[in-house]
Amino acid sequence: MSFEMTLEGIAAFITAGGTAQAVIAEAYDRIAAYADPAVWITLRPREEALAEARALDAAPVRGPLFGVPFAVKDNIDVKGLPTTAACPDYAYEPAEDATVVARLRAAGAIVVGKTNLDQFATGLNGSRSPYGAPRCVFDEAYVSGGSSSGSAVSMSSGLVAFSLGTDTAGSGRVPAAFNNIVGVKPTKGLISTTGVVPACRSVDCVTLFAASAAEGTVLRRIAEGFDASDVYSRPMRPVALPGGRLRVGVPRQDQREFYGNAAYAALYDKALAAMAALGADIVEIDFAPFRDAAKLLYGGPWVAERLAAIEAFATEKPESMDPTVRAIVEGARGMSAVDAFRGQYELARYARLSEAEWGRMDVMLLPTSPTIHTVADMLAEPIKRNSEFGHYTNFCNLLDFAAIAVPAGFTSAGLAFGVMLVGPAFSDDAIAALADRLHRTLEPTSGKTRRPLGAALAEPSHDRIALAVVGAHLAGQPLHGQLAERKAELIARTRTAPHYKLHALANTTPPKPGLVATPGFAGEGIEVEVYALDAAAFGSFTALVPCPLAIGSVELADGSTVKGFVCEPAALDGATDITAFGGWRAYLASRASADHVETT
């Protein structure tokens, strides 16, 4: 059986009887056949990944990313593989997976390797690495974009179903644009950076490359979550876009910069017309505050954060660094605390000026990159050409915005162009739905082969309530239809906090478990699915909940709290403690196995 190397394609293959082993074997076959060796820094041994896939095939519970192969930018830790940040002398062996990698693997995804990048994530072009320069999938004379170069190319080329990058200045959006894929840059702090080599630690984001905004949103929801070990981590506090006609801000005509790339300028005009056709009002804004804030990232004291991240290494082994990266990082040596405070004051001033523009718009629609360059041109003028790529991206993290980059067409020369939607912090779901509509209007394909897109992303509800289910309402269980009837949307498969126990209740039809908070108990957490319902649907659903069950507050593994099923203590008389199974599905699977043994 064949399948598309996407979340949807793999899920369909598995449903039709395919296995995780077959998916991983196909990924390694594609990697072996791919002609550009600069994509990867370290590949995981094939047999090791296949062994993980076999274990998943044999497991009683299947996560939402069951058997999905993914690639990880080599500044993000994966246990068992070295982290190099594209600098061999910097390499170390991490003791644990980065938090984001651990969450994706817990959902069933399988790491196949570590990808190339601009060294220490310092660049937007992909040519600053001793491991080579990955090339644009549409023309090898051109850069792939960076710094998440290998991650973007591996995903666009169909070697993996998704990949992880990072984005401080645009590194998760620029390569997405050049390679016809989606780049999801979440609100700062939504995805933990524990286990990520810092670039500018206060503004770094982990990003996701996916075939569509729909798949990128699924991945983001699994990957995100509060992490107390990351001092910049923040829980999601969803922000909706206003109802009625959307006001889409764009730079004034005299502020639009394409560095002479007329083809990209024309494609941007086409994107604006498409957005208007979708029912939005196009509003010209003063882009100057955003443009000037962007200059602070490399032209102001934030470059000192890059030095802070690797200061000891840069001092002891400067000769080990890429010359351009070294020049940028060493430029911070003369900066002082006074410079840092002055930079903060400047940024605050630009943020205040930007507030006036946000009063006139709901989201921004920008070119992801104003132009693209050949590898030869980039190497000839590495700093100047690279800075052009960040013209529309550098300000996002400094000013605390969410952003998502989507494909927006091709030039007559066959080079991809992309646009980017930017919204307020925590508007991630809202701008993703809009971006998905625009992607399907402008360029309804993904990747090197321009494969058709899968299912669209549902529009977010403005009054969604998150509900954790633990037993008979799980997908595939007898009462799941009560959620389906109310158009509940699955937003996460996760676990509770460690202090919960699960009991199989006596005399319930259909059989049901009871979830009980147990202070002082330290387990592994209980498997739950989290669904989103609008207020009316949530109200009608709760009316169906019978005693001894109730809807209360449930703490999840990431520290967040949602509504969920809990159990009255009196119902535990005659109940069986099944906490050791880790969830209702695993318990049912054990009973089915025992019944099978008794009847054979």
CB atoms within 10 A of CB 243: 7
Is residue 7 within 8 Å of 68, Cβ to Cβ?
A: yes
What tokens does 461 get?
A: 């509800």
Those residues whose C-beta lies under 8 Å from the C-beta of residue 305, and which sit 6 or more positions away, are 198, 199, 200, 201, 202, 203
- What is the rounded end-to-end Cα distance, in angstroms, of the chain? 33
For 510, the 3-state DSSP assignment is coil
Instruction: Decide if 147 is catalytic.
Output: yes
Distance CA 523, CA 571 (A): 21
Is residue 126 within 8 Å of 154, Cβ to Cβ?
A: no
The gap from C-alpha 35 to its chain's centroid, in whole angstroms, comes to 27
Instruction: Decide if 73 is catalytic.
Output: yes
Those residues whose C-beta lies under 8 Å from the C-beta of residue 472, and which sit 6 or more positions away, are 478, 479, 480, 510, 511, 512, 584
Q: Please identify which of the residues 129, 147, 149, 427 carries the catalytic annotation.
A: 147
Q: Please identify which of the residues 129, 163, 171, 192 carries the catalytic annotation.
A: 171
For 397, the 3-state DSSP assignment is helix
Owner of token pair 């158009």: 487
Q: Which DSSP state fits 549?
A: E
Instruction: Decide if 171 is catalytic.
Output: yes
Is residue 401 within 8 Å of 393, Cβ to Cβ?
A: no
Those residues whose C-beta lies under 8 Å from the C-beta of residue 506, and which sit 6 or more positions away, are 573, 574, 575, 576
Those residues whose C-beta lies under 8 Å from the C-beta of residue 178, and which sit 6 or more positions away, are 136, 142, 143, 144, 145, 152, 369, 372, 415, 416, 418
Residue 59 CA: distances (Å) to CA of 25, 63, 308, 504: 19, 10, 44, 21
List 416's β-bridge partners, or say none. Answer: 410
Q: Which DSSP state fits 496?
A: B
Q: Is the peptide bond before 147 cis (omega within 30 degrees of 0)?
A: yes
Q: Please identify which of the residues 73, 185, 448, 501 carries the catalytic annotation.
A: 73
Select from 450, 452, 437, 409 the least CA-distant residue to 8: 452
Q: At what angle do helices 288-299 and 303-316 cross, to 10 degrees?
A: 10
- Please report how many Cα atoms fall inside a 13 Å half-sphere around the Cα of residue 557, on the Cβ side: 20
What tokens does 125 get?
A: 């072009």
Amino acid at 317: K
Distance CA 173, CA 176 (A): 5
Residues taking part in catalysis = 73, 147, 171
